[in-house]
Amino acid sequence: MKKAELMDYDKALELFEPVLGFEVHVELNTKTKMFCGCANEFGQGANTNTCPTCLGLPGGLPQVNAQAIESSIRLGLALGCEIAEYSRFARKNYFYPDTAKNFQTSQYDEPIAFDGQLTIELESGRLVTVDIERAHMEDDAGKLTHVGGATGRIQGADYSLVDYNRGGVPLVEIVTQMIEGGEADSPEIGRTYVAAIREIVKALGVSNARMEEGNVRCDANVSLRPRGSNVLGTRTETKNVNSLRSVERAVRYEIQRQAALLHAGGTITQETRHWHEDTGITSAGRPKSDADDYRYFPEPDLVPVAPSREWVEELRATLPEPPAARRKRLQADWGFANLEFQDVVNSDLLDAVEATIAAGAAPQAARKWWTGEVARLANVSGVSADSLVQPAQVAALIELVVAGTLTDRLARQVLEGVIAGEGTPLEVVESRGLAVVSDDGALIAAIDEALAAQPDVLAKIRDGKVQAAGAVIGAVMKAMRGQADAARVRELVLERAGAAE
């Protein structure tokens, strides 16, 4: 593949103003497909979830999934959209092997949701309001595998294979208005916008929101306007950019590529481009042409969707706290520094840390365990940290550390046991015998030393202020490197101090 000339990013911005637009496809996590009762799930064998309707066989008739409508309306509302009083499906006609019906059932001039707004916050603190043109419902295409040729890509393949399990799965496509004034922040705006959409659909619970599995997919439109001109440049549409980092890279790449081409006197072709994750470049797909004459017309097999205002208000009442507001609230509640909080957010551990704190752990301890040891173990096994262990278990582990039953070192071993399915932290402590040395002689020596070092505490204990013993217990635990039974230490401290229980 020919590598395109790129202009230095700063120079590109000196000469041109980037104009952006995004189309984000969100796969809904309904139990069934959009228009038939086939299961909306993958991972089983190919073509196991198909029927005459989603295969486009003669006689197949679509029936609208009520849950998909509800999810779409809630998503529209969360994006600040108006919900249409009257909305229709339309056929988008084209021939492509991943679409067995030879049309996609989509929406054209009457989308379910329109005119929304989403304000995102960049790392610099800059707020950018992205106008949402529309959010419409449609069905997904099947999955193609390209066989033969050098690269396994569509170009040069000998033939392709189709699995229609994904065909007919409900999607919401969210389309922005043109985003101007992004300037040097343009790539970050792309990444942050898609991250915000992802966070919203996750909070709503309408999608599994896993980008690596294609639950959220982004098409990035980029064009450049020469400084001093008010004429929009020709745009390219980079398809299926499927990670947050890739959105940022793809936008930046297109700015640099288009700038070099325009500056050298070339012209931009209006085309779709493919993003290559491995090499970090885009390559030309098909040019916009006759093939994009989709001849939309209202879907004759479906009646209009006309959500009552009462229903819309009922659904509005079910909306969760907006993720951006929630983040602000949680950071303030937990007292995390920006970097600490970003670490949690970027690791996708906000829910896990929140649940762990709710289960009784101190915020800093919850953060430390999740972004530290749990994340490390998850990384080793190549899974997400929050799938490795339950927040309640992490909270229980932290409690054992705080109580002095475990040192951090022992607790890491206990965590491994919990992850290995050996039971709760307490059960692992018992079964693995991880807590404690209880050689009274060694403990008594350490206690006497600690009491001698803290005569004021000793006096308090003797006065009956038994809770003051905590300071001595802490010192002893430290001296024993945590491998002492805190309860036994407490007993001995009181005994040595001469206090009655």
Partner 1 sequence: MSEITAEQVAHLANLARIDLSSEEIARLTTELGQIVDSVAKVAEVATPDVPATSHPMPLTNVFRADTVVPSLSVEQALSGAPDRDGDKFRVPAILDEE
Tokens 């019906």: give the residue: 101
Q: Angle at the Cα of 318 (from 312 to 321), degrees rounded to 5?
A: 125
| Interacting residues with partner 1 between 14 and 73 (CB under 8 A) | 30-32, 36-39, 45-52, 55, 57, 63-69
Q: How many residues bind partner 1 (CB under 8 A)?
A: 62
Tokens 């529309």: give the residue: 134
Interior/surface letters 239-275, b for 16+ CB within 10 angstroms, e for the rest: bbbbbbebbbbbbbbbbbbbbbbbbeeeebeebbbbb
Please state, in angstroms and as integers, the Cα–Cα distance from residue 405 to each residue in 49, 209, 356, 471, following that order.
51, 39, 19, 15
Q: How far is the CB of 483 from partner 1 (least distance, A)?
A: 53
User: With respect to partner 1, which residue has the nearer C-beta, 96 or 126?
Assistant: 96
376 lines the binding site for partner 1 (CB under 8 A) = no
Tokens 């007292």: give the residue: 335
Q: How far is the CB of 147 from partner 1 (least distance, A)?
A: 8
| Interacting residues with partner 1 between 304 and 333 (CB under 8 A) | 304-307
Q: Which x/- pattern over 136-155 shows residues binding partner 1 (rule: CB under 8 A)?
A: --------xxxx-x----xx
| Interacting residues with partner 1 between 394 and 433 (CB under 8 A) | none
93 lines the binding site for partner 1 (CB under 8 A) = yes
| Interacting residues with partner 1 between 278 and 307 (CB under 8 A) | 283, 286, 290, 293, 295, 297-300, 302-307
269 lines the binding site for partner 1 (CB under 8 A) = no
Give the integer Cα–Cα distance in Å for 320 and 391: 21
Q: How far is the CB of 217 from partner 1 (least distance, A)?
A: 19
Q: How far is the CB of 257 from partner 1 (least distance, A)?
A: 17
**Residues 38, 50 contacting (CB under 8 angstroms):** yes
Q: Which residues contact 176 (CB under 8 A, 6 or more apart)?
A: 20, 21, 22, 23, 130, 131, 132, 133, 193
User: With respect to partner 1, which residue has the nearer C-beta, 29 or 405?
Assistant: 29
- Orientation of helix 186-204 relative to helix 244-263, angle to 10°: 150
Q: How far is the CB of 90 from partner 1 (least distance, A)?
A: 9
User: With respect to partner 1, which residue has the nearer C-beta, 55 or 377?
Assistant: 55
DSSP category for residue 203? H
Binder to partner 1 among 161, 184, 232, 332 (CB under 8 A)?
A: 161
User: With respect to partner 1, which residue has the nearer C-beta, 28 or 350?
Assistant: 28
Give the integer Cα–Cα distance in Å for 80 and 74: 10
Q: How big is the chain by its Cα radius of gyration, in Å?
A: 29
Q: How far is the CB of 78 from partner 1 (least distance, A)?
A: 20
Tokens 């008594």: give the residue: 444
Q: How far is the CB of 121 from partner 1 (least distance, A)?
A: 35
User: With respect to partner 1, which residue has the nearer C-beta, 157 or 466?
Assistant: 157
- Give the tokens for residue 241: 């950019």
Tallying the residues shown for the chain, one arrives at 501
Only one of the segments 85-93, 221-229, 248-256, 365-373 lies at the binding site for partner 1 (rule: CB under 8 A); that segment is 85-93
Binder to partner 1 among 16, 22, 114, 164 (CB under 8 A)?
A: 164
Q: How far is the CB of 101 from partner 1 (least distance, A)?
A: 14
Query: Strands 103-106 and 143-147: what pairing?
Result: unpaired
**Residues 375, 349 contacting (CB under 8 angstroms):** yes
Q: Which residues bind partner 1 (CB under 8 A)?
A: 1, 30-32, 36-39, 45-52, 55, 57, 63-69, 86, 88, 93, 95-97, 144-147, 149, 154-164, 283, 286, 290, 293, 295, 297-300, 302-307
